[in-house]
Chain A
Amino acid sequence: MDNVLEVKDLATYFFMHDYIIRAVDGVDFTLGRGETLGIVGESGCGKSITSMSMMRLVPDPPGRIISGEISLKGRDILKISDDEMRKVRGNEISMIFQEPMTSLNPVFTIGFQISEVLRLHRDIGKQDAITEAARLLRMVGMSDPEERVNEYPFQLSGGLRQRAMIAIAMACEPTVMIADEPTTALDVTIQAQILRLMRQLKETKDTSIAFITHDLAVIASFTDRVMVMYAGVAVETSTVHEIFKNPLHPYTQGLLGSVPVLGDRKVNADGSRKLLNAIPGSLPDARRFPRGCRFAPRCPKAMKKCWEAEPATVEVAPGHQVRCFLHHDEVRVISKRDLGAAGKRVLKNQQKNSGKKKSSADGSKTDTPTARN
Chain B
Amino acid sequence: MSSKTETLIDIRGLKKTFPVKASVFSSKSIPLKAVDGVNVQIKKGETLGLVGESGCGKTTVGRCVLRLYEPDRGRVWLDPDPAVVAEVEQFDLEYEQLQSQLDDVIASGRVRGAGQKTRELRNQIRKNRNIARRKAMQQDILSMGRDQMHKMRRNVQMVFQDPWASLNPQMVVSDIIGEGPHTYGTHKGARLNKWVMELLDKVGLPRNAANRYPHEFSGGQRQRIGIARALALTPKLIVCDEPVSALDVSVQAQIVNLLISLQDDFELAYLFIAHDLSVVQYISDRVAVMYLGKIVELGTGEQLYNNPRHPYTISLLGSIPVADPEIKTQERILEGDVPSPVNPPKGCTFHPRCPNRIESCSQIIPLLEKSRDGHVIACHNPPNG
Contact = CB atoms under 8 A, between A and B. Distances in A.
A190 B319 CA distance: 8
B334 A189 contact: yes
A192 B334 contact: yes
B203 to A, nearest CB: 14
Contacts, number: 139
B284 to A, nearest CB: 9
B333 A217 contact: no
Given A221-B325, A266-B301, A260 B256 contact: yes
A219 B306 CA distance: 24
A56 to B, nearest CB: 28
Nearest to B306: A263
Contacts of B221: 282
A196 B318 CA distance: 13
A276 B253 contact: yes
A24 B77 CA distance: 54
A275 B253 CA distance: 8
Contacts of B301: 266
Interface in A245-280: 245, 254-264, 266, 273, 275-280
A187 interface: yes
Nearest to A216: B323
A193 interface: yes
Contact of A189 (B253, B282, B315, B328): B315
B333 A264 contact: no
A218 interface: yes
Interface string B324-367: 11111010011101100000000000000000000000000000
Contacts of A292: none
Interface stretch (B116-124, B162-170, B186-194, B244-252): B244-252
A273 B333 CA distance: 33
B275 interface: yes
A120 to B, nearest CB: 31
Interface in A183-220: 187-193, 195-196, 214-220
Contacts of A191: 319
A314 interface: no
A363 interface: no
Interface in A85-140: none
B90 interface: no
B323 A189 contact: no
Which of B275, B322, B324 is most buried by chain A, counting CB atoms within 10 A of its CB?
B324
Given A260-B278, A275-B257, A282-B220, A196 B330 contact: yes
Contacts of B337: 157, 159-160, 190
Interface string B277-311: 11101100000000000000000010001100000
A240 B278 CA distance: 21
A261 B338 contact: no
A255 B325 contact: no
A261 B301 CA distance: 12
B238 to A, nearest CB: 17
Given A275-B260, A278-B253, A189 B319 contact: yes
B248 A214 contact: yes
A241 interface: yes
A362 B282 CA distance: 52
Nearest to B305: A263
B54 interface: yes
Which of B220, B321, B326 is most buried by chain A, counting CB atoms within 10 A of its CB?
B321
Contacts of A190: 337
A173 B350 CA distance: 37
Nearest to A218: B321
B249 A259 contact: yes
A254 B252 CA distance: 12
A196 B333 contact: yes
A187 B320 contact: no
B325 A260 contact: no
Contacts of B316: 188-189
Given A159-B337, A220-B325, A273-B260, A188 B53 contact: yes
Interface in B179-229: 218, 220-221
A164 B261 CA distance: 45
A193 B275 contact: no
B359 to A, nearest CB: 25
Given A195-B321, A221-B328, A258-B249, A276 B278 contact: no
A244 interface: yes
Contacts of A335: none
23 contacts: A42-B248, A43-B248, A189-B316, A189-B334, A192-B318, A192-B330, A193-B335, A195-B321, A196-B330, A214-B249, A216-B323, A217-B322, A217-B323, A221-B327, A221-B328, A255-B249, A259-B323, A260-B256, A262-B317, A262-B322, A273-B260, A278-B254, A279-B253
Given A191-B319, A196-B333, A257-B253, 7 more contacts: A193-B333, A220-B324, A240-B325, A275-B261, A277-B253, A278-B250, A282-B220
Interface of B: 53-54, 218, 220-221, 248-254, 256-257, 260-261, 263-264, 275, 277-279, 281-282, 301, 305-306, 315-328, 330, 333-335, 337-338
